[in-house]
Structure 1
């Protein structure tokens, strides 16, 4: 048994009726390092990461079934955190 505890991030709630449709972009190499602030549980096909770099934030979406990685627009980290929270609660996709 490993000494490293299992870590599961939060699960994303199903989308609510009338949820916000986010625009997702192909990632561009804009910064040498990106820090993941928070992430959803790896047990799902689609995972989301709240990322920060160079004073900005964005949400990264990885769809393992489709083998795609997409990002929201880069914005203030506080705005990206609100978008990540909306995704978690099913208010945005």
Structure 2
């Protein structure tokens, strides 16, 4: 068993599937403070270099992406209605969007 498979097997967190052929490209924007409080409704495991969060603030939802390499880069999807953000969240988890 390779190291990644071992790690994923031993880690109980939520891991997005690998990108699928023809996946949708998300228009990621630099994260900027828009609300005093943000509620994280779901997140992927932080054992990966890219972590996603489903967030809610001010009656809207969005996906926040953390990319960790030499530094941490934070991006956000468009802030939108709950149903649209939930669809994007599922596409990310299923590997249908990145």
Task: Give the distance between the partners of 1:67 and 1:51, measured in 2 at CA.
Answer: 18
Secondary structure of the equivalent of 2:61? strand
Counterpart among 41, 64, 72 of residue 67 in structure 1? 72
Task: Give the distance between the partners of 1:24 and 1:55, measured in 2 at CA.
Answer: 20
Task: State the partner residue of 1:85.
Answer: 90
The structure with the largest helix share of the pair is 2
Task: State the partner residue of 1:18.
Answer: 22
Does the 8 Å contact 1:57/1:74 carry over to 2?
A: yes
Aligned length: 87
Deviates more, 1:64-73 or 1:40-49: 64-73
Shift of 1:8: 4.0
- What is the RMSD computed on CA atoms of the aligned residues? 1.3
TM superposition score normalised by structure 1: 0.88
Q: Runs of at least 4 residues of structure 1 off by over 6 A? A: none
Does the 8 Å contact 1:8/1:40 carry over to 2?
A: no
Give the unaligned 5+ runs of structure 2: 1-10
Task: Give the distance between the partners of 2:26 and 2:20, measured in 1 at CA.
Answer: 14
Secondary structure of the equivalent of 1:47? strand
Task: Give the distance between the partners of 2:68 and 2:95, measured in 1 at CA.
Answer: 20
Task: Give the distance between the partners of 2:37 and 2:67, measured in 1 at CA.
Answer: 22
